[in-house]
Amino acid sequence: MIIAKTVAEVRSQVREWKKEGLTVGLVPTMGYLHEGHASLIDEAVRQCDRVVASDFVNPTQFGPGEDLESYPRDFDHDCQLLEEHGCNMVFHPSVDEMYPDGNGKTDTYIEILDDMPRQLCGKTRPIHFRGVCTVVGKLFNIVTPDKAFFGQKDAQQLAIIRRMVRDLSYGIEIVGCPIVRENDGLAKSSRNTYLSEDERKAALVLSQAIRMAEKMVADGERDAKVILDAMTAHVEKEPKAKIDYISAVDGVTMANVDKIEGNVLIAMAVYIGSTRLIDNCIVNA
């Protein structure tokens, strides 16, 4: 596997592949990789001739007081996992390589101006999706992939990237991949490493509430409030949990819905101790 640290290295390698007529898949990540990330690499390997993963903790998507400095990092382990899953190149740039103005700052952003990035996670993380769109847009320009792979785990991010690709005419196919979970249901996340043993147990309320919502919809419940109230009551039974949001939104626009009709995203963010975890499901009715 090629380890590229500069934009120039990525460009020249991708140019070679494209000359040979090979298709290129991109899997953007912030590193500290686990089986969730590996499932995206596997899907990219299935669908593309060559696979590039990016491994970069992107400063522009972290707000003040968030975990930019403490975000877990283990590049050697990441390389091992990527290589085992057949990734051809990892792009691991410095902050200055990605943001030449220095200190992870930029004056040029990609930002969706309507409500979409201000719903759900955007309520408490107002600059988050502007940073995500900007870094993903840069990665698209650097790697010029045919396809890019994102996890349903970050459902709002996936919807926003699809919108960005449509609005800015990126000729890139966005592939969404299902949430990978631990055996007991907890959605895999790099941030799970922050949890103490007790918090790890408490964190199960998220996936339990998601399963509860899926079952209620399967049993015929169509009133979003009834479902969200049941989820809220379940999470509130756990003293270590503090709800950021539990919402039902349109799967494309992220606007709140009252009725479960068509493609609905039921999504939640909950603090377990000081760790903010997210989970979600898509329901169709």
Positions that interact with ligand AMP (CB under 6 A): 29-30, 36-37, 39-40, 150-151, 153-154, 177, 179-180, 187-190
**Active site members:** 37
Kindly list the distances between the CA atom of residue 155 and the CA atoms of 159, 232, 251, 253, in Å, as whole numbers in the listed order. 6, 20, 9, 11
| Phi-psi domain of 36 (left: phi exceeds 0; alpha: psi -120 through 50; beta: other) | alpha
Nearer to ligand AMP, 194 or 224 (CB): 194
Q: How far is the CB of 55 from ligand AMP (least distance, A)?
A: 8
Q: What kind and span of H or E run contains 229?
A: helix 224-236
Q: How far is the CB of 114 from ligand AMP (least distance, A)?
A: 22
Tokens representing residue 275 in the block: 């760790």
Residue nearest to ligand AMP (CB): 151
Beta carbons of 279 and 245 less than 8 angstroms apart: no
Residues 6+ apart with CB under 8 A from 98: 56, 58, 104, 135, 138
The helix/strand/coil state of 242 is strand
Nearer to ligand AMP, 206 or 216 (CB): 206
Nearer to ligand AMP, 151 or 251 (CB): 151
Amino acid at 9: E
Q: How far is the CB of 268 from ligand AMP (least distance, A)?
A: 15
Nearer to ligand AMP, 128 or 234 (CB): 128
Q: How far is the CB of 150 from ligand AMP (least distance, A)?
A: 4
